[in-house]
Structure 1
Amino acid sequence: MVRAEIITTKDNVNEVVSKLLKLGTFEPDDPKVPISQNRLEDARRILGEINDKIARLILLMEASEIAVEPKGNLKQDKQDWIEIARIYTSEASKIEEKYRELLEEIQKLKSERDSLKLKLDELEPFKDVDIDLKKIYANTYFDVALAILNRQQIEELKKRGFEVISYQSNNFYPSLIIGLKGTGLNETLKELGIKRLETQDLVSPSQQYKTIMDRINYIDGVLGAKRKELREKANEDKEWIQSTYGKLLTLRDSMLVLSKAKISDYFIQIEGYVLEKSTKQLTNSLKDSAVVVYEYPKRFGEQEEPPTYVNLPKSIRPLESIIELYGTPSYWEISPTLFLIITFPLIFGLMFPDLGNAIILLIFAVWFHNYGKKRNSESIRYLSLVLIYSSIIAAITGILAREFFGPLAVGGLRELLNNPSYPVGPLYNIWPISESVYEKIAPILPTSGETGIVNTIIISLLLGSILLFVSSILGVINTIKKKDYEYLVLDRLPLLLIYTPPLIVFSYGFTNISNYTLQIQELLGGIEYFIFHSGSPAPGTTQILATSLVIWVELALIYNWIGKIIILRKHEKVSIGNAIVTGFIEGAFEAGILLLSNVISFIRILIFAIAHYYILFAFSFMGYLAAGSPNSLLAVFINPASIAIIIVGNLLAIALEGLVVFIQDMRLHFYEMFSKFYEGRGRKFNPVKTYVELP
């Protein structure tokens, strides 16, 4: 990223703006050393008007179900951007005026409906009460009130001698409150902030409920007709609306450039950031109309924070949306997107291994993507593409696990009942992974018994230790790029040393790959023997390695403790006593706990894979029982109750478990991995560009 200063004459400024828009790699900023304090005030004022017009056009397009996308061209004989902006803000006003009345009617109807729905929600608990409130509230001997209370209000009313009859509905209690005349019920209700239920003319709640429902149904009918009218009219003007929208977007960016510019008597100064690879192109395009000077910002230590541009292939750019939930990378940081493109779908697929469920999730993701395109929502499109990638990996792991909507379709009753005399599923013989191949990989699948669970635990921990080690390496690299060498020595290097031993532990099995699990178990046993002096020592050099790793971790934690003490003393100016205690808590105790919890946290991959399998196994077994425990798989598939149970189970797995797995996948990245290397305090590069064709 390079900071560019552009000096041009007032006569050439419109040409310069046009070229910057066409270039599409320039982000305007306030000049660091302005040539004056004067600005183009017209540009600043019109920019606000344009943003308002754009927002109104988007509302119109969304209400009329027109795709929110720019179209058309902006070919004007007079290339005065401020004058063109006035022309098309006026054009947008014509569109706004044409549809103002219809949109206001729709908005008025929606507001009335929303207001009525709030009243309906208030009446809902009392909708079966068909006695007029006038009769209830005009009782001769008692003060009576209908109200919705919380638990605390009920207790307080009872303490004051009132009788409360109520039932629970979610977190509130529709109640009948009764007190003797003269006991001050109305005053008590006001004091406790309780709103007495009232209806128009104090008619019965059931009658009022019906009246409101009738009105809402009427409004829905009128609203549907008005929306249809709006769609039909707006679609006739679709090209006009989208073209004006595209022109306004382009004019917004042109005004953004001009509004940040500084002017003198003869010259205009435009400044901002441009991609380093585009500097030559920018210089060549402006050589006849402006003077361009470049400045390379320092990596760290400057007050300015250059924007961050991450050049990603279009196919993986959607994963950047997950990164942005955590924060935009600073200009000196390595973007974790390339890291995420591998790890996020992989972890999702390992936790959600079922081909059938993955296909349904893929279909939903494709529909969700098209919905996002229709609404012109980049966030929806990107999220749906992340789901598409993840569901494809889940389909692959589902093929390896031989699962298709649970065990019945492939393994059949043989797998469900664990009895080889029962029939297999209809997909058994045509499955891409044969039984012989499955038997070879079964020992590393969590659904293949105790051995499979142990092996899968170790593989999950191996994956976790690799990812944590790589995260720590990236933390070191980012700190070097930042040129913060003190932080590197006192924080990042200790963290790398702390997270190296788990990688050594779970990679140790590769020294004898045929006996991988036993090798690791022996090393873990040696670590246990050294720490707790229980059991037997590991054989030979394995025990030496186990002892060395424990000492390594202890020394790394002490190093981290000392680093924290120095940071606290130097930068937070705390006393030496507080620095030692706080440094121990954060640098040694907490770091040691995090080492264990971060690595062990990856066992959730195993847990969710097992949970997914046995949820579908349980519903399949219930379906089998509902069919009368037949010997034939066909009897299960043709039984309506069995099919309903199996479908419900799969829908629950897809909707609920799929959502939980997605969230847990994000958690592993945000808390276990990103915290080791990623700050995310930068700002995204937003260059001005043209949204329509320019001459």
Structure 2
Amino acid sequence: MIVKMKFLSISGPKNDIDRVCEVYLSKYEMQLENAAAELKTTDNLQPFVEVNPYKEPLAKAEQFSALLADEDQRIDVSMNQEDMLNLIRDVNHDYLDLVEKKELTKKQVDEYKEKLLIMEPFRTLELDMQKSLKYKYMKVRFGRVDVNYYKRLEKYLFDDLNAVFIEGTRNENYVYGCYFVSNADSSKVDSVFNSLHFERIAIPSEYIGTPEQACEELEKAIEEKQKEIAEIEKQIRELMAKNAAKLRGAKRRLEELSTNFDVRKLAARIEEGDNKEDYYILCGWMGEEDVKKFLAESKNDDKVFVVVEEDKEKFFGEPPTKLKNPRFFKPFEMFIRMYGLPANDEIDPTMFVALTYTFIFGAMFGDVGQGLCLFVFGGLLYLIKKINLAGIISIAGLFSTFFGFMFGSIFGFEDVIQAHWLRPVDAMTNLPFIGQLNTVFVVAIAFGMGLNILVMIFNVINAVKSHDLENMLFSHNGIAGLVFYGFLVLTIVLYMTGHKVPGNILMVIFLGVPVLLFVFKEPLGNLVTKQHKKMEEGKVMFFVQAFFELFETMLSYFSNTISYVRIGAFAVSHAAMMEVVLMLSGASAGHTNWIVFVLGNVLVCGLEGLVVGIQVLRLEYYEMFSRFYKGTGREFKPFHSQSDRK
């Protein structure tokens, strides 16, 4: 059902707004509206322009809390506001120092790794790095050359060059090494190597010994620096662990303070002259029961002034919608939210959907064994994970179990338990004019007719609540439509059961009069609402449009009713599919292959359960909701959620 909402205005001294938020608004669900925009008739309203001082400390507290070990869940909420801010500041100071040291060390590691990357290809060279780079009469060039060019170098040029090339390492693309050349021939040799795309690599002159020794020194330096980084990370963990309980407490408290302070975004303030104290104003929607409790709690608080506005929706739009249903029906609110929440002048269809959805699902998927599986697994998933769809599946499984007993089906076997009603595949009914028809089809259509009449009654109730006389009296889903369709259903039932049908006069009254009301719905609606509108289109155009609308109305009655045949169709198809599973597993022949049997049941339960669930939802949305439900409400969004209450 829909919780009745009241519009409140709360005011008091400007410097008392935080206390009001913490003491009162944190206990009651209230959807705050923008006071400056809503209270347009109040003079001297100004927005709050203060910056939230808790945002930065809260961000730090969240950052530090993320570094804490998951197994340590201690919380210390004994600190006052000043102590919390000092704690965050001190921890942040120490943390930033450690992070700076860590970053500098990581930068040194990166530099060492870059140097090692340069030296690694020359590791196998047997030469003294420092001496070779300082030869007086000879030059040494380190670098790499493409493998293909190196083959050409070996084949054609080494014998003609006054140079010596020493190979280091090679991979599939390059050969790394160095060549020695005298000063006199360096220009010529350099030109030849450059023409063969020899890429020179600059080697720092700081290394002493061979490339192997240089690489070992770099690796040792990297290892030492990584140990320093590990030690710094350990110090960070110890710093956080030492203050873990206080940091978690500070985070929780700062979240509350920050949220309370953000109320100012929707509040307004009134500036008083002559050095008088300024005031704040908060306004918004609250449930009727919460309003009573709030007024009772705050009546002795001389700094809080509460005004409950009456008929505020006339000036500031419709109240938000807050649903409150018993726990059994709570998961089905998901379907309502998917379609659209009800407005305050509509019926909450949650219970209706819960009962019809599960009942129809059970009729289309009647099997004791599979129904119990859905009930157990869906229920466990709902209890553990709180998934609404799992709760719906669990409840639908109960109805599947019930219809399984009615149909005498358990995991597809129809000879284990007795059918308490009928077997969907075998039950047939003789009808006048039509002949033999499957009984479940007949029952499904009759059930659909009953649902159509019920949702028309819901539409009339909604029209009464919203004071929509035209829709209530003359709509094809209103009283006129209810009379027409109800009498038509009565006539069909009497004819099919062999009873005397109503006479011509009754036919004219209960079928003809509603049709005229459908045709003249608009002018009659204007008449009862005393809105004397001139017919903009001509009379011919009016009757042409009325004819097609009437044709669409009659077609919708027929299609809506026939749509319920799918209930019987799926009941029959489920039994037929399980016969196939039993045949493939050999169960019908007496030698059951249990692996095939189990896999077949899982496949049918999964795929057919999914299809049936979608088809039932289609019936809810298109055949039922389209006749009485608009779903134009806006969701109630309290500033403090229910889960955050103290």
Q: TM-score, normalised by structure 1?
A: 0.59
Provide the C-alpha distance between the structure 1 equivalents of 2:61 and 2:389, rounded to a whole number of angstroms: 25
- SS at the partner of 2:421? helix
What are the Cα deviations for residues 521-569 of structure 1, in whole angstroms up to 9, with x where unaligned? 246xxxxxxxxxxxxxxx6xx1326984586334323311221576799
Provide the C-alpha distance between the structure 2 equivalents of 1:88 and 1:576, rounded to a whole number of angstroms: 79
- SS at the partner of 2:502? helix
Provide the C-alpha distance between the structure 1 equivalents of 2:93 and 2:311, rounded to a whole number of angstroms: 43
- Residue in structure 1 matched with residue 440 of structure 2 by the alignment: 456
* Pair 388,567 (structure 1): closer, same or farther in 2 beyond 3 Å: same
- SS at the partner of 1:323? helix
- Residue in structure 2 matched with residue 346 of structure 1 by the alignment: 359
User: How many Å apart are 1:72 and its aligned residue?
Assistant: 6.5
- Residue in structure 1 matched with residue 281 of structure 2 by the alignment: 269
- Residue in structure 2 matched with residue 581 of structure 1 by the alignment: 544
- Residue in structure 2 matched with residue 386 of structure 1 by the alignment: 392
Q: Indicate conservation of the 8 Å contact 1:39/1:261, yes or no.
A: yes
- Residue in structure 2 matched with residue 483 of structure 1 by the alignment: 467
> Structure 2: 5+ residue runs without aligned partners?
103-232, 272-277, 431-436, 527-531
User: How many Å apart are 1:355 and its aligned residue?
Assistant: 1.6
* Pair 566,455 (structure 1): closer, same or farther in 2 beyond 3 Å: same
Provide the C-alpha distance between the structure 2 equivalents of 1:27 and 1:399, rounded to a whole number of angstroms: 48
Superposed counterparts of 1:638-657, under 5 Å: 639=593, 643-657=594-608
- Residue in structure 2 matched with residue 686 of structure 1 by the alignment: 637
- SS at the partner of 2:284? strand
- Residue in structure 2 matched with residue 26 of structure 1 by the alignment: 30
- SS at the partner of 2:285? strand
What are the Cα deviations for residues 448-489 of structure 1, in whole angstroms up to 9, with x where unaligned? 333395332222122211211111111111111112223323
- Residue in structure 1 matched with residue 120 of structure 2 by the alignment: none
Counterpart of 1:581 in structure 2: which amino acid? V
- Residue in structure 2 matched with residue 677 of structure 1 by the alignment: 628
- Residue in structure 2 matched with residue 41 of structure 1 by the alignment: 49
Provide the C-alpha distance between the structure 2 equivalents of 1:604 and 1:94, rounded to a whole number of angstroms: 69
Identity rate of aligned residues, in percent? 23
What are the Cα deviations for residues 74-121 of structure 1, in whole angstroms up to 9, with x where unaligned? 666459xxx99999999999999999x9xxxxxxxxxxxxxxxxxxxx
Q: Indicate conservation of the 8 Å contact 2:364/2:571, yes or no.
A: yes
- Residue in structure 1 matched with residue 291 of structure 2 by the alignment: 279
* Pair 571,21 (structure 1): closer, same or farther in 2 beyond 3 Å: farther
Q: CA RMSD in A?
A: 4.6
Q: Indicate conservation of the 8 Å contact 1:20/1:688, yes or no.
A: no
Q: Indicate conservation of the 8 Å contact 1:35/1:262, yes or no.
A: no
User: How many Å apart are 1:14 and its aligned residue?
Assistant: 1.7
> Structure 1: 5+ residue runs without aligned partners?
102-228, 374-380, 412-427, 509-518, 524-538
Provide the C-alpha distance between the structure 1 equivalents of 2:79 and 2:519, rounded to a whole number of angstroms: 67
Q: Indicate conservation of the 8 Å contact 1:361/1:391, yes or no.
A: yes
User: How many Å apart are 1:650 and its aligned residue?
Assistant: 1.7
Q: 501, 504, 507: which one pairs with 1:543?
A: 501
Counterpart of 2:429 in structure 1: which amino acid? T
- SS at the partner of 2:293? helix
User: How many Å apart are 1:578 and its aligned residue?
Assistant: 3.7
Q: Indicate conservation of the 8 Å contact 2:321/2:342, yes or no.
A: yes
Q: How many corresponding residue pairs?
A: 479
Q: Indicate conservation of the 8 Å contact 1:57/1:96, yes or no.
A: no
Superposed counterparts of 1:435-474, under 5 Å: 435=418, 438=419, 441-442=421-422, 445-451=423-429, 454-474=438-458
Provide the C-alpha distance between the structure 1 equivalents of 2:538 and 2:626, rounded to a whole number of angstroms: 28
Q: TM-score, normalised by structure 2?
A: 0.63
- SS at the partner of 1:2? strand
- Residue in structure 1 matched with residue 609 of structure 2 by the alignment: 658
- In the alignment, is residue 11 of structure 1 matched against residue 18 of structure 2? no
- Residue in structure 1 matched with residue 556 of structure 2 by the alignment: 594
User: How many Å apart are 1:16 and its aligned residue?
Assistant: 1.2
- Residue in structure 2 matched with residue 405 of structure 1 by the alignment: 411
Provide the C-alpha distance between the structure 2 equivalents of 1:618 and 1:15, rounded to a whole number of angstroms: 69
Superposed counterparts of 1:144-223, under 5 Å: none
* Pair 693,570 (structure 1): closer, same or farther in 2 beyond 3 Å: closer
User: How many Å apart are 1:372 and its aligned residue?
Assistant: 3.4
- SS at the partner of 1:499? helix
- Residue in structure 1 matched with residue 122 of structure 2 by the alignment: none
User: How many Å apart are 1:446 and its aligned residue?
Assistant: 2.0
Q: 482, 500, 510: which one pairs with 2:486?
A: 500
Provide the C-alpha distance between the structure 1 equivalents of 2:397 and 2:517, rounded to a whole number of angstroms: 43
Provide the C-alpha distance between the structure 1 equivalents of 2:604 and 2:89, rounded to a whole number of angstroms: 51
User: How many Å apart are 1:648 and its aligned residue?
Assistant: 3.4
Q: Indicate conservation of the 8 Å contact 1:250/1:692, yes or no.
A: no
- Residue in structure 1 matched with residue 567 of structure 2 by the alignment: 605
Q: Indicate conservation of the 8 Å contact 1:352/1:612, yes or no.
A: yes
Provide the C-alpha distance between the structure 2 equivalents of 1:243 and 1:481, rounded to a whole number of angstroms: 49
User: How many Å apart are 1:602 and its aligned residue?
Assistant: 0.9
Counterpart of 1:579 in structure 2: which amino acid? F
What are the Cα deviations for residues 601-659 of structure 1, in whole angstroms up to 9, with x where unaligned? 111110011111100111212222xx8x74xx3x22xx4xxx34333332221111101
* Pair 9,85 (structure 1): closer, same or farther in 2 beyond 3 Å: farther
* Pair 483,464 (structure 1): closer, same or farther in 2 beyond 3 Å: same
Provide the C-alpha distance between the structure 2 equivalents of 1:608 and 1:459, rounded to a whole number of angstroms: 13
User: How many Å apart are 1:247 and its aligned residue?
Assistant: 5.1
Q: 513, 521, 546: which one pairs with 2:496?
A: 521
Superposed counterparts of 1:545-560, under 5 Å: 548=506, 552-560=510-518
- Residue in structure 2 matched with residue 139 of structure 1 by the alignment: none
- In the alignment, is residue 293 of structure 1 matched against residue 299 of structure 2? no
- Residue in structure 2 matched with residue 667 of structure 1 by the alignment: 618
- SS at the partner of 1:544? coil
- SS at the partner of 2:438? helix
User: How many Å apart are 1:297 and its aligned residue?
Assistant: 2.4
Provide the C-alpha distance between the structure 2 equivalents of 1:679 and 1:461, rounded to a whole number of angstroms: 25
* Pair 473,50 (structure 1): closer, same or farther in 2 beyond 3 Å: farther
Q: Indicate conservation of the 8 Å contact 1:10/1:268, yes or no.
A: yes
- SS at the partner of 1:270? strand
- SS at the partner of 2:520? helix
- SS at the partner of 1:292? strand
- Residue in structure 2 matched with residue 511 of structure 1 by the alignment: none
Provide the C-alpha distance between the structure 1 equivalents of 2:365 and 2:43, rounded to a whole number of angstroms: 60
Counterpart of 1:459 in structure 2: which amino acid? V
- In the alignment, is residue 258 of structure 1 matched against residue 216 of structure 2? no
- Residue in structure 2 matched with residue 334 of structure 1 by the alignment: 347
- Report which of the two structures shows the higher radius of gyration computed on alpha carbons: 2
Deviates more, 1:450-459 or 1:606-615: 450-459
Provide the C-alpha distance between the structure 1 equivalents of 2:98 and 2:614, rounded to a whole number of angstroms: 46
Deviates more, 1:679-688 or 1:262-271: 679-688
User: How many Å apart are 1:57 and its aligned residue?
Assistant: 11
- Could you say which structure has the higher helix fraction? 1
Counterpart of 1:11 in structure 2: which amino acid? N
* Pair 84,243 (structure 1): closer, same or farther in 2 beyond 3 Å: closer
Q: Indicate conservation of the 8 Å contact 1:354/1:397, yes or no.
A: yes
Q: Indicate conservation of the 8 Å contact 1:2/1:275, yes or no.
A: yes
Provide the C-alpha distance between the structure 1 equivalents of 2:445 and 2:22, rounded to a whole number of angstroms: 56
Provide the C-alpha distance between the structure 2 equivalents of 1:97 and 1:331, rounded to a whole number of angstroms: 58
Provide the C-alpha distance between the structure 2 equivalents of 1:547 and 1:298, rounded to a whole number of angstroms: 50
Provide the C-alpha distance between the structure 1 equivalents of 2:606 and 2:455, rounded to a whole number of angstroms: 31
* Pair 298,269 (structure 1): closer, same or farther in 2 beyond 3 Å: closer
